[in-house]
Amino acid sequence: MSVLPIDEAVLVSRLREKDDEAFALLVRTYAGRLLRVARRFLNSEEDARDAVQDAFVSAFRSIGSFKSTSSLATWLHRIVVNSALMRLRTIKRHPEDEDIDDLLPRFAADGHQVAPSVDWPLPADEMIERAETRELVRKLIDQLPETYRTVLIMRDIEEMSTEDTAKALGINGNAVKVRLHRARQALRTLLDRDLRGVGQ
């Protein structure tokens, strides 16, 4: 559902004519939403705001290539994700930070789980209703190595497709699937430790 006060096709037409008021309307309508997206990728508020600004500049320059087969919201979302990814690439990382093996399940030689898994007591709907659970999830996602955190945010939070995620990251779809599966397993382990109050 569009949040725009005017017809989207009319707005796009005015944007293509470089109408100043149209860009002001675009920015006022979508900047808040795009800032929330950028904050999920970037820990610094300054970086997140810069990513949003870069995204609007990019949108301004490329409005001519906007295709009405997608919505403005979807188009801007893709642009701000790319803008946030570009900023992330400038942040130096240490290779040892990418190790995730300690957060993956352990198996005995016969292929069975070393420690039997026990489900969390709360049903899924009750779990996600709790603000503290959502806050915990945000905090724990930030503990994941960057390679995995990025894919998890794109696929499970921003709900981007495997194809779009792969394209934005410059990797193939299978690599996205592998990273996502490992990221989910690692996040499950972190959640498990926190929810049971062990391993901290």
Partner 1 sequence: MSARPYITCRELIDMIAAYLDHELPPQAEADLQRHLVVCVSCVAYLAMYEKTILACRATARYDEKLAEAAPEELVTAILAVLRS
Three-class DSSP category at 107? strand
> Closest CB to partner 1 among 25 and 95?
25
CB of 104 to partner 1, least distance (A): 9
Question: Using N-to-C axis directions, what is the helix angle for 131-141 and 173-196, rounded to 10°?
Answer: 120
Distance separating alpha carbons of residues 150 and 104, to the nearest angstrom: 18
CA distance 32 to 58: 17
Q: Which of 6, 9, 13, 28 binds partner 1 (CB under 8 A)?
A: 28
- Distance in Å, CB of 121 to partner 1, minimum: 11
Positions in 55-84 near partner 1 (CB under 8 A): 56-57, 60
Copy the structure tokens of residue 95. 């290779």
- Shortest distance, position 82 Cβ to partner 1, whole Å: 17
Other CB atoms within 10 A of residue 48 CB = 23
Query: Residue 143: phi, psi to the nearest 5?
Result: -85, -10
- Taking CB under 8 A as the criterion, the residue among 1, 67, 101, 124 binding partner 1 is 124
102 counts as binding partner 1 under rule CB under 8 A: no
Residue 37 and residue 32: Cα distance in Å, rounded?
9
Site for partner 1 in 152-181 (CB under 8 A): 152, 156-159, 177, 180-181
Q: How many residues in the chain? A: 200
Within 8 A by CB and 6+ apart from 143, the residues are 190
Stretch that binds partner 1, among 5-13, 63-71, 94-102, 105-113 (CB under 8 A): 105-113
* Sites of contact with partner 1 (CB under 8 A): 20, 23-24, 27-28, 31-36, 40, 49, 52-53, 56-57, 60, 105, 107, 110-113, 116-120, 124, 127-128, 131, 133-134, 137-138, 141, 152, 156-159, 177, 180-181, 184-185, 187-188, 191-192
